[in-house]
Every structure is written in structure tokens, then in C-alpha cells.
Structure 1
């Protein structure tokens, strides 16, 4: 409800298409596939709701990098903490291919069938495996940056 009202406030000044999910709340693969099927552009930037973009010209620079590189996807440099465990930050690799901030050529997402929508979490890791096995490749961008805050856990035992 509140998200839709906020979007309505910005809709007149920004090119925004707000799509409310009809089901499968919390299933990220389903959410991402709804976005893919409704996207009108050539490229898709997948972001988590808590990802912070660190440049004002991020999107124009992203398109420029797609045009300059023969890449199926672009991974910005991510200052991304996986979690806080026992009071210490545990960090991902700077170019970890997670959907918290990864851009794709839309045609590749469609060709590979999008994301598995029956699992909760790790749908981006599963997609990354299919992406690589299909011979697709990422360009790691050192000029595009984002921040992603950590999860907070007491332990990560499963």
C-alpha cells in the first residue's frame, strides 16, 4: 500500500512503472520474473530494496558500459557485507554476482528462462550457474559502485 502511494507521488517526474505482485510474496525468483516480463528496455538492473547506488550517473554509465563491452551482464563493484557474525563483518567478493545489484541484457534473461520461482532465496546463485554453463559472461565494472548493508546473525549454521 505505502509503496504504491510513494510511487504515485514520483510517477509524474520519473519514468516509473509500479507492478504489484498478485501472489508468491517473498519468492524472489517470481518477483524478478514479473519484472523481466514487464520490462520494456534492452537492459535490466536487478536491485534489492536495501541496495544503495553510489553515483548520480549510475544508469547512464551502466548503459555506456554495455555499449562499450561485449557482455551479457555487468557486475558493479559492491561494497557488500554478507553479515555481522560475532561482531565482525563478513564480506562478499567485490564482484559477487548476486541480484542485489547486477545488470543483464534482457534477451539473455529470456533465453535462459529467467529465475527459478519455486525456491525462496539463492535463485540468483542458481541463475548464475546456468548463465555460466550457457557460455554467457559478465563484465566486472570498476567504475560503477554500490553498497549493501549486512544481515545480522548470531550464527550461520544450517
Structure 2
């Protein structure tokens, strides 16, 4: 019996680990996951991402966005309407909480709610100390004696 681990649920909820999951992904998708609200994850360029959540029916005051260390939590809580009589209710009105794992150095840059879509802008800010730097190769010789082996140093004449 062959059992394969499915990385798709982790891919959908983490940002910045794309290459790792490309290597590890088994190719199958998970079933039975709570997919509310649905969302899209876009890579705008090498260091910018956008999460778009479909939150039709929710107002700006109904949604909370919290950025913690390496985690983004989006939650919505809509008050029940009193006195409304529906023949059919197709627009989901339930509370939700979505968690997204963020890679190191991913920061939330802002959020906007427009036309039922909540768009959260993310940016990867790599500190200067961690960015690659070019090392120049000098043309001068290295000063001082150089011994490649212990035997070479032992055979060298000593100054007395």
C-alpha cells in the first residue's frame, strides 16, 4: 500500500515557501478541507504577493486582519440580521478564520476591501546583512609564509 503525503493544504496557506513545496509536492490535492472563504494567491513579482479573499456580504468593520510573527490571521464575524425572511440564502454569512503561514521577512504592506474582495498586499523585505554581496578578488599576493602541510613547514630552514 502506497501512502503519499499531500502538501497542497500547506501550499495554499503558506507564502514564501513556494520553491520548497515545488520540490516536495506529490501532485495530489487534499479533500475535505474547509475552503471558506475562497482565496487567490498571486505573485506580483519576486518580492511582492497578493492574497485576494472573496468576502461578499462582509463590511470593513466585520473583518479583522492580524499579522503575528510568521503568521497572518484573517477573521470575519458578521452579526445576524433580525427580521429578515429569506426564500433562498446563497451568500454565505458565517463567521470564518483563515490562517496563512508567512516565510521569514514577509511583511503585510496593506489591505483593501472593494467589491466583495479583500486584497492583502505582502512584500518580502530581506535585511541588508542577508542579501548576497559581491567579493572582489584582489591582484596582490598574500603576505607572509604559507605552509600547505606540516612536513613542508618542518623542512623549511629555520633562522637562528
Shorter-chain TM-score: which interval? under 0.3
Decide which structure has greater helix share.
1
Decide which structure has greater strand share.
2
Q: Which has the greater radius of gyration?
A: 2
Q: TM-score, normalised by structure 1?
A: 0.22
Q: TM-score, normalised by structure 2?
A: 0.22
